[in-house]
Amino acid sequence: MVTVADRSFPAAYGLPDRWIWSDEFYVTANPYGVRINPVLNVDENSYDPTRIWPGQVARPMGRDHPVAWHHPYEKGRVFVTTLGHNGEMYRDPQYLAHLMGGIYWTATGRSAAR
pLDDT in tens, 61-75: 767 789 999 999 999
- DSSP-assigned letters across all residues of 32-69: T----EEEEEE-GGGS-TT--STT-------S--EEEE
Beta strands 18-19 and 2-4, pairing class: antiparallel
CA atoms within 13 A on the CB side of 94: 12
Domain span holding position 46:
2-108
Q: Is residue 60 part of a domain?
A: yes
Biggest CA-to-CA distance, the chain: 48
Confidence category of residue 11, pLDDT binned at 50, 70, 90: very high
- How many angstroms separate the CA atoms of 63 and 17, rounded? 15
Domain assignment of residue 31, yes or no? yes
pLDDT, tens digit, 9 for 90 and up, residues 25-50: 777 888 888 899 999 999 877 777 76
In this prediction, residue 60 has a pLDDT band, given cuts at 50, 70 and 90, of: low
**Greater model confidence, 7 or 30:** 7
Domain count, the chain: 1
